[in-house]
Amino acid sequence: MTSASSFLLASRRCEIAELEQLARACEGVGVIGRFIHALQRERGMTNLLLGSGGRYGQSWREQVACCDRAQQDVLHTLEQLGTDPGALKNGSRLFNRVALVLHALDGLPEWRARIEAHAVEAADATAFFGKLIAALLAVVFEAADSAGDPEISRALIALLHLMQGKELAGQERALGARAFAVGHIAAADQQLWHHLIESQQANLQVLAELGDVAAAEGVRHEWPELERLRHLGCEGPAGARDSRLSNVWYEACTRRIDALKLAEDQLTLHLRRLCGRRIAQARGELADQREALDRLLSQAQPVDPATPAPGAGRSLDRAVLEMMQAQSHRLQQMADELEAVRGRLSERKLVERAKGLLMSHQGLSEEQAYRSLRQLAMNQNRRLADVAASVLALADVLPGGAR
């Protein structure tokens, strides 16, 4: 084996090592998805518990126990990440996101104690769960952002958008449940409701464009009962919000969220299979390449060293060069595809950057910054990413601007 061909094989081995690392990240995303789903259910139960004045206590406690188990799985996965910092792509960003998750989780027991003692407003508890879930989604975002394989990146980005859409559906469930329970809705909440519906659609649209067909089918399902209740709750006349509808609304939303979870499970399974297939494929190609190189080398070595076959070295040479150029071409194509797929993450990046700008220049907290952007988007009836782009563009021309 020449040293040139051993580096050609090492190039493949790097690809396999990266794919294996990516497969572990995808497993982690699956575990996080299950935890988010459990937290969403706990948030829903919390709203029911706090709204009912004490009923639902048993279901709530069961859900807390279920959440704790899912949390243990997440912590176990994250601890395994932490054992080898040097081997991680994008490790500094990922670990900082994990730190923010763990920090939010530290507050969970205290919140639960206050919820059980009915010493907290439903809206505040809902906001806490929302922040925790947002921190978990930020970890998924980093995993998607650092994926180096275009096909896996595509599936991860689809999954991220499905998870984001599902979380917005969870927020809508909580908002609607409160509106039905108290029997009226403030103008600001009406506006927020519309925003939550539109943002869900935008996220699920990305999924439909990127995701695998089965998952997209599950998402495109129509929910006429939910549509009717949405209309009633958000736009209906005073008196339309019968508090008995709160439960009906909650159940209707839950059926849809469970359907989204099913699509999420399908997509997670698809992702796992995809990782397995890509790794097997890369290993197969490595084996083929090694075999081809061995064959070429044995042909180039004459049986009798005194009479080398004419041109054998040169044809080996050409064959090896062709393999390397094919590898270059393939890696280039993968990089191009990856760039195109990752463009889907640019909207979220814009929002992150605009948030960071508002935090550092206006002294806002992360949540305040997000709420400001969302309020601007709702007031101007524009998409969040467009508002973020405007904020960033404005900062560039202001004195003492962002950069």
If binding is defined by CB under 8 A, does position 201 make contact with its own copies?
A: no
If binding is defined by CB under 8 A, does position 275 make contact with its own copies?
A: no
Near its own copies by CB under 8 A: residue from 57, 69, 80, 92: 92
Closest distance of CB 31 from its own copies, Å = 16
If binding is defined by CB under 8 A, does position 395 make contact with its own copies?
A: no
If binding is defined by CB under 8 A, does position 329 make contact with its own copies?
A: yes
If binding is defined by CB under 8 A, does position 96 make contact with its own copies?
A: yes
Near its own copies by CB under 8 A: residue from 86, 239, 363, 399: 86
If binding is defined by CB under 8 A, does position 18 make contact with its own copies?
A: yes
If binding is defined by CB under 8 A, does position 248 make contact with its own copies?
A: no
If binding is defined by CB under 8 A, does position 332 make contact with its own copies?
A: yes
Q: Which residues touch 175 (CB under 8 Å, ≥6 apart)?
A: 189, 192, 193, 196
Nearer to its own copies, 20 or 198 (CB): 20
If binding is defined by CB under 8 A, does position 347 make contact with its own copies?
A: no
If binding is defined by CB under 8 A, does position 73 make contact with its own copies?
A: no
Closest distance of CB 320 from its own copies, Å = 6
Residues 352-381 that bind its own copies (CB under 8 A): 352-353, 356, 359-360, 366
Task: Measure the CA angle with vertex 184, ends 179 and 187; round to 5°.
Answer: 90
Residues 111-140 that bind its own copies (CB under 8 A): none
If binding is defined by CB under 8 A, does position 88 make contact with its own copies?
A: yes
Joined tokens for residue 81: 């990440």
Near its own copies by CB under 8 A: residue from 102, 287, 393, 394: 102
Nearer to its own copies, 72 or 201 (CB): 72
CA distances from 165 to 4, 134, 171, 261 (A): 48, 12, 10, 11
Nearer to its own copies, 280 or 331 (CB): 331
If binding is defined by CB under 8 A, does position 154 make contact with its own copies?
A: no
With contacts defined by CB under 8 A, how many residues of the chain interact with its own copies? 59
CA distances from 222 to 57, 122, 227, 231, 347 (A): 33, 29, 9, 15, 27
If binding is defined by CB under 8 A, does position 76 make contact with its own copies?
A: no
Range in contact with its own copies (rule: CB under 8 A) among 62-70, 90-98, 188-196, 294-302:
90-98
Nearer to its own copies, 193 or 370 (CB): 370
Closest distance of CB 124 from its own copies, Å = 16
Nearer to its own copies, 93 or 371 (CB): 93
Near its own copies by CB under 8 A: residue from 72, 201, 281, 325: 325
End-to-end CA distance of the chain: 51
Joined tokens for residue 120: 């907290």
Near its own copies by CB under 8 A: residue from 287, 321, 393, 394: 321
Range in contact with its own copies (rule: CB under 8 A) among 47-55, 58-66, 97-105, 378-386:
97-105
Tell me which residues touch its own copies (CB under 8 A).
2-8, 10-15, 17-18, 21, 75, 78, 82, 85-89, 91-100, 102-103, 105-107, 317, 320-321, 324-325, 327-329, 331-333, 335-336, 352-353, 356, 359-360, 366, 403
